[in-house]
Chain A
């Protein structure tokens, strides 16, 4: 791990924000356990010491809902990114290594998927089982794998064609060695960068779907869904909208600031 003191300011801020969001996602649901328990007597109750964000239009604890939604977003996004990265980079390396027919076929499929913006794939999947966690996961992961495939394939082709891999083969080293010493050190920083980008994309897609009403369904606690549900009560209790907005913006900010600011994509 790099010493924090040598990081640019935005990276330090990013780690701080990420730590806060993770804290909310891990410790929050433990302190405010039940996001679904209604108490209509406490309709739009104001913040208090026990409930720092008050209660919503159904008397549910906003803190519990925000914490649970954060955990859901981060968890689902991490799962998607992990699956997509694993599938995409394995296929990418395979394609670069084998070449020939394998490469042609995989590239054909990837080209087709690339022509379908990720959000459209996720939308089709979300229609399959409305509000289903599993289908959303599948959709998000399938929308993302191709990016990992493309980048891994391109980078691996360069590495595998390089003199240093040729030298290692001449020295008698096998495929495992080439993966360990040549490919992995070259691919892992790129994969990490892409993963932080992918996390942001997945979190964004999930909340966008929730916001337009085709993602997770009520009574699930989900950031986008919470905003839509709270919008009618915006004038009485703006915090109901602002709390999920703030969490979403801070999470995305953390993921964006982790990477160099100059990245143009």
Chain B
């Protein structure tokens, strides 16, 4: 594989420019990572190179290798390169696999060489990815991490010199993310080019090479990973790096009070799969506790059991006397799903005000403190950004003066900057009313900063 040049790549919707022209050079064996928040136009780059932009969008610029050039405006001229020279790692591996076909043939069909070797090649590649046992599985029988590896095998079996990875770590837990980074490094080690598009700073750090920071369709900083991720020059990059939980300054936690809740000998299984067995948990008033485990380990289920939403197979939960039923509240991973979809936020929040007999002023104060415009309330839940809606969900629970808030991955769907902002709001408000926090997360750094005690299994 030789060096690839991309000259003046840009994407337009009619006259409106979605991705400003940019020049890139991809060297074999060196990663190039495009870093940016969602909506920064970075995904368009991968589709512009591949020639798979949605209808209505057009690309300009060209792809060059040696003396050959492919103008990007003509999407069809790169079809012949697909599989053999250009490959894309899909964003959602679970939906990118044919549900009616077994794993092995799906991977084998990516082989570009002699047809009779396809199965043997796929077989050995899957084996090297630790998927030997899954070859005869159907996609619905795979876990998220396994599906990611199968998609990787299918995309790379053809031996393409340039692999485009579009948000490859989306929806993966930290363990699967680490495996993914290894896979991508292996690909680089074999002397191929890699262009990764992500919002995951940890992944960019793991891959090294060159980093490109994008914001609003524009490149704000470009350089070697060691320099951009260690001594960023642009303020936006600095903010982005400071928003990583590892970089947060230490947060002072309030002292724990009397006991609030005691879970004893809790066990839960779904069918033959045991989630957890014999777990004891205590939470004191005002305390901040994190539940840390990889996905599928039943963290959310444990939280739901403590709140009385799910019944445990064994064990019991004791609550402190004298607290109303509404003293136990929950914040959801996806705030859009936590609001009735067809009801305006105004109605939803006023219903709660009426229910708990609070004056309108308390809502206004909270809106003001969380820097939310009252105009937002006229909208439906789906018309508000994730960060704003999560803060509105927080306000909704705060109106009830809760004693414990169970926050189930409350910021995992938010961009780093919004995550930082939302979580700090949450901690400030809980401290103000002395409410305890039970935080479910898979992010160890986040748990370390936001809570004083972490439970893992």
Given A162-B337, A172-B326, A172-B355, residue A167 in contact with residue B342 (CB < 8 A)? no
Q: Given A162-B337, A164-B337, A181-B351 in contact, is the A170-B343 Cβ separation under 8 Å?
A: no
What is the CB-to-nearest-CB distance from B312 to chain A, in angstroms, rounded to a whole number?
Answer: 17
Residue of A nearest to B400 (CB): A171
Tell whether A8 is near chain B: CB-to-CB under 8 Å: no
Chain A residue with the shortest CB-CB distance to B396: A171
Distance (whole angstroms) from the CB of A76 to the closest CB of chain B = 33
The yes or no answer to B275 lying at the interface (CB within 8 A) is no
Q: Would A171 and B355 be within 8 Å (CB), given that A164-B340, A182-B340 are in contact?
A: yes
Residues in A with CB closer than 8 Å to B393 are: 167
Question: Measured between alpha carbons, how far is A163 from B343 in the docked complex, in Å?
Answer: 15
Are B341 and A186 in touch, CB under 8 angstroms?
yes
- Given the interface contacts A172-B325, A172-B400, A185-B342, does A166 sit within 8 Å of B351 by beta carbon? no
Give the residue of B307, B325, B334, B347 whose beta carbon is less than 8 angstroms from that of A163.
Answer: B334
Interface size on B, residues (CB 8 A): 27
Q: In chain B, what residue has the closest Cβ to A167?
A: B338
**For the complex, is A177 an interface residue (Cβ under 8 Å from B)?**
yes
B330 CB contacts on chain A under 8 angstroms: 166-167, 170
Is B329 interfacial (CB 8 A cutoff)? yes
Bound: A173/B349 CA distance, A: 12
Shortest Cβ gap from A179 to chain B (Å)? 11
A167 x B343 contact (CB < 8 A)? no
Q: Is residue A208 within 8 Å, beta carbon to beta carbon, of the partner chain?
A: no
Closest B residue to A185 using CB positions = B342
Residues of B within 8 A of A162 (CB): 337
Chain B stretch 417-434: residues in CB contact (< 8 A) with chain A: none
B328 contacts A by Cβ under 8 Å: yes
| A168 contacts B by Cβ under 8 Å | yes
Asked whether, in the complex, the Cβ of A173 is within 8 Å of the Cβ of B351, the reply is yes
Question: Given A164-B337, A170-B307, A172-B325, list of 12 further CB < 8 A pairs?
Answer: A163-B332, A163-B334, A163-B338, A166-B309, A167-B339, A171-B329, A171-B400, A173-B355, A177-B351, A181-B348, A182-B340, A186-B341
A-B contact pairs, 25 of them (CB 8 A): A164-B338, A164-B341, A166-B309, A167-B330, A167-B332, A167-B339, A167-B393, A170-B307, A170-B309, A170-B326, A170-B328, A171-B400, A172-B356, A172-B400, A177-B351, A181-B340, A181-B347, A181-B348, A182-B340, A185-B340, A185-B341, A185-B342, A185-B343, A186-B341, A186-B342
